[in-house]
């Protein structure tokens, strides 16, 4: 009996270990790639565009327990939202029609979060706020998110642990209040953070700003276009008033194989700048940097010798070699440039006009809107596009999987529990459906 009991315990532990090492989805990479999200939990259907109530996005976000959010409607949802309970997967790719946009902001105030294929386009008329992001949490992955028009930072994610931001667009930040400042891309830097295949475009600065006390961060295969007065800076070793216990007393950052393309708004003094490392106490507060394989469009000497694009290169700031980050499917900077323009942002179910215009600007080196691409308000670019909805596929048991797919995969369209059957590849059947939407 004791042997059987131990065998059972070992089997259970083996199962949970395997689940913990399962990729969040097949294309997940970097330090957030093992995030579990809502795997094995309940399903919440977003059936309307209301701010709150049954069938709303808010009801799904505020629920407790592991959960996957699927959409039975497309369109724009107005409001500011917060994820305060752990273990959630938001599957924006499930929306029928043109997809989902949040007209407001989304804060991640919990652990174990997977967010894919949504737009977060802030409304500056409601005040000052970030577009999307959060602090002091762990196991988070953002994939194919389009964020814009924030009056603070458009996508900020720092002082977290085990995170990935991949294939996102962070663009067209707006000024704070009546002032002409801010228009910032984001503050990034986590205890083991991966940042790859993202696009920063038409932001004045912070593309990104590296947080003080960032920890180990790996930033590669990103595209940065038309920054105004600063591309990337920051990365001090120490954060004053650090709430983490223990605090992180270093910033160690790889910046590898990114593509920098100055645009019409880029000041002549910073057109060839890759990064401007910061320090509040000279060498004593210096972060450590490895900067290599980056392309600076129009500046072949900086492309050949990246240190010419770094403002501080003394020994206090330099790594002798890149820190050994978790590998991704790295491309050359030129390959990444092409891939990001083709695939980044909320590209499922379809790209909206805002993203399409941004991509076109990057591709052609232009700036259609605002002051050389730097905007004041969303109406400068036409505002929030109309996102049309289509009829959602029939889902008799409301388990997130349409009837046609359940029949095709020999499941029971009247048994909602089969969504959590684990297939041979380690994904639940619900995950397999969501992972195969294209």
**167: which 2 tokens?**
């294939």
Dist. CA 29–CA 260, nearest whole Å: 22
**Other beta carbons less than 10 A from residue 383's beta carbon:** 14
| C-beta of residue 251 within 8 angstroms of C-beta of residue 236 | yes
The DSSP code for 338 is H
Cβ-based neighbours of 84, under 8 Å, separated by 6 or more: 61, 62, 109, 110
Alpha-carbon Rg for the chain in angstroms: 22
| C-beta of residue 273 within 8 angstroms of C-beta of residue 302 | no
| C-beta of residue 107 within 8 angstroms of C-beta of residue 83 | yes
**Other beta carbons less than 10 A from residue 426's beta carbon:** 14
Handedness of CA 53, 111, 144, 366 (dihedral sign): positive
**187: which 2 tokens?**
């503050």
Dist. CA 357–CA 367, nearest whole Å: 9
Dist. CA 248–CA 242, nearest whole Å: 8
Q: Which of the residues are catalytic?
A: 206
């Amino acid at each position: 009996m004791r042997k059987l009991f131990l065998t059972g315990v070992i089997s259970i532990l083996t199962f949970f270990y395997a689940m913990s090492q399962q990729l969040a989805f097949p294309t997940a990479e970097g330090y957030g790639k093992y995030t579990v999200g809502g795997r094995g939990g309940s399903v919440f259907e977003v059936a309307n565009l209301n701010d709150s109530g049954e069938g709303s996005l808010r009801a799904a976000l505020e629920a407790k327990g592991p959960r996957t959010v699927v959409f039975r409607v497309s369109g724009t949802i107005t409001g500011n939202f917060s994820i305060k309970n752990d273990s959630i997967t938001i599957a924006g790719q499930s929306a029928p029609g043109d997809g989902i946009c949040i007209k407001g902001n989304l804060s991640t105030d919990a652990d174990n979060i997977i967010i894919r294929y949504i737009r977060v386009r802030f409304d500056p008329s409601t005040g000052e706020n970030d577009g999307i992001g959060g602090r002091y949490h762990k196991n988070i992955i953002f994939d194919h998110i389009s964020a814009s028009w924030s009056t603070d930072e458009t996508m900020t994610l720092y002082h977290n642990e085990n995170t990935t931001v991949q294939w996102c667009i962070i663009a067209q930040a707006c000024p704070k209040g009546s002032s002409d400042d801010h228009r910032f891309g984001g503050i990034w830097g986590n205890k083991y953070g991966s940042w790859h295949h993202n696009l920063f475009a038409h932001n004045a600065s912070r593309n990104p700003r590296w947080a003080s006390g960032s920890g180990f961060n790996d930033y590669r295969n990103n595209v940065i276009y038309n920054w105004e007065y600063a591309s990337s800076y920051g990365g001090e070793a120490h954060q004053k008033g650090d709430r983490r216990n223990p605090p992180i007393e270093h910033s160690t950052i790889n910046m590898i194989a990114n593509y920098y393309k100055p645009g019409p708004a880029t000041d002549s003094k910073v057109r060839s700048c890759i990064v401007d490392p910061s320090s509040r106490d000279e060498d004593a507060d210096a972060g450590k940097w490895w900067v290599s394989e980056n392309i600076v469009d129009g500046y072949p000497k900086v492309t050949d010798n990246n240190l010419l694009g770094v403002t501080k290169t003394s020994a206090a700031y330099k790594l002798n070699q890149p820190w050994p980050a978790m590998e991704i499917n790295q491309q050359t900077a030129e390959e990444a440039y092409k891939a990001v323009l083709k695939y980044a942002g909320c590209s499922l179910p379809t790209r909206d006009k805002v993203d399409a215009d941004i991509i076109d600007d990057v591709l052609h080196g232009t700036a259609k809107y605002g002051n050389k691409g730097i905007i004041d308000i969303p109406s400068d670019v036409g505002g929030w596009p109309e996102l049309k909805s289509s009829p959602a596929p029939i889902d008799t048991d409301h388990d997130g999987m349409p009837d046609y797919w359940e029949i095709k995969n020999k499941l029971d369209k009247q048994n909602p529990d089969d969504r959590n059957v684990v297939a041979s590849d380690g994904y639940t059947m619900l995950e397999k459906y969501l992972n195969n939407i294209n």
